[in-house]
Amino acid sequence: HVQLVESGGGSAQTGGSLRLSCVYSGYSAGRHCMGWLRQIPGKEREGVGTLDRDGTVTYADSARGRFTISHDGAKNTLYLQMDDLRPEDTVMYYCAADTPWCKEVPGVPVARGVFRYWGQGTQVTVS
């Protein structure tokens, strides 16, 4: 039984930082892609960045240079370090796993079925 649990969301000021965590269980990150996605209310989820099984990290243009994805295998945790936050980063962020389109996802709308596993999401608010 695969579980993805996000945490670390909350409020931050413009220019500030937050680190999101996604703790996973029942899953081997080394076998499949993992990623972070965001969802503006009323719109489809959009890829923020992904970590492929070969270690390649791919970012959306909106995230590149400000956000960093990392992984700690010992803690079964995927991270999203978010720096230089902007008000437009105020959305719900989701952790997801297992897609065959790992390098194509960042920066494009992503239907729920694109990833096999999803977390419940964590809200980020930037003011």
Tell me the residue length of the chain. Answer: 127
DSSP 85: -
| Cross-strand partners of 72 | 77
Average pLDDT over the chain, rounded to an integer: 95
- Say if residue 79's pLDDT is above 70: yes
**Per-residue pLDDT tens digits for 1-50:** 899 999 999 999 999 999 999 999 987 767 789 999 999 889 999 999 99
Helix (H, G, I), strand (E, B) or coil at 31: helix
Mean pLDDT of 45-63: 95
Residues 6 or more apart whose Cβ sits within 8 Å of residue 119: 4, 5, 6, 22, 94, 95, 96
